[in-house]
Amino acid sequence: MRNSEIVEALIFSAEGALSIKDILNILPDASKQEIEDIVTELNRTYDRSGRSFMIEKVSNGYMFATKKEYSPYLRGLHKTKRLSNAAIEVLAVIAYKGPCSKQTVDNIRGVDSSSALRTLVDNHLVDIKAGRPLKYITTKRFLEVFGLNSISDLPDIAQFQEIFGEDQNIEQEEDLFL
């Protein structure tokens, strides 16, 4: 197996940019120069064979990226960024309790939810209903992303303990959401 193949596989599978140091950890017999030459050579091969991607050198290492000219097509892929745990919590509360005010969400979670709410609205997962106070509701996009036909497809909260019961001794019948 040639080093160039291994280097390619390493950069391909790395989460984020991969530094030369990380590569040398796995290929201790290679040199810094050799890695640089390998990447140059790989990119030359990609160019020659009409690949739509290449290895970019970014500040902290190497990473694969598709070439700029394909970006008009890639925009059609509708990437939605991953949500933080806080955002999923807020989303869950609104899904079960909505339409509800920010105050309700904050009370249930015991922490302020402003920034998570903002993310959800930006991602079109939550919409705002006019009124005093403002109310938050989940959107059609929410249903699509979570693969639900309607909000009533969400399971009953009392059923959660089947696998999410933290402790068998804790009876969860008496709960906040009833």
Partner 1 sequence: MEFVLHISRFEGPLDLLLYLIEKNKFNLEELEICPIIDQYLDYINQMRCLNIELASEFLDMASYLIWLKSCLLLPSQVDIAQGGEQDPIEELKKMLATYREMKYAAQRLSERPLLFHDRFPRGWAEGDKELTKMNIASIMKAISSIKSRTKHYVMRIERARFTVKEMMRKITSVLKTRGKIYLVQMAGTDEKLEIVTILMAALELSRLSTVRLIQGKLFGEIYIVGKDSGVKD
The interface with partner 1 within residues 60-89 (CB under 8 A) comprises 63-68, 70-71, 74-75, 78-83, 85-86, 88-89
Q: Which of residues 136-165 bind partner 1 (CB under 8 A)?
A: 139-141, 144-148, 153-155, 157, 160-161, 163-164
Q: Are 23 and 7 in contact (CB under 8 A)?
A: yes
Nearest to 23 by CA among 11, 15, 33: 11
Per CB under 8 A, the segment of 31-39, 91-99, 150-158, 170-178 that binds a second copy is 150-158
Q: Per DSSP, what are the bridge partners of residue 55?
A: 64
The CA–CA distances, whole Å, from 169 to 90, 160, 173 equal 27, 14, 12
Q: What sign for the dihedral angle of Cα 72, 74, 78, 84?
A: negative
Q: Are 141 and 124 in contact (CB under 8 A)?
A: yes
Among 32, 40, 44, 45, binds a second copy (CB under 8 A): 45
Among 1, 2, 15, 29, binds partner 1 (CB under 8 A): 15
Where on the chain is the footprint of a second copy (CB under 8 A)? 1-2, 4-6, 8-10, 12-15, 18, 22, 25-27, 45, 49-53, 64, 66-67, 69-70, 73-74, 76-79, 102, 114, 117-118, 121, 128-134, 153-156, 159, 162-165
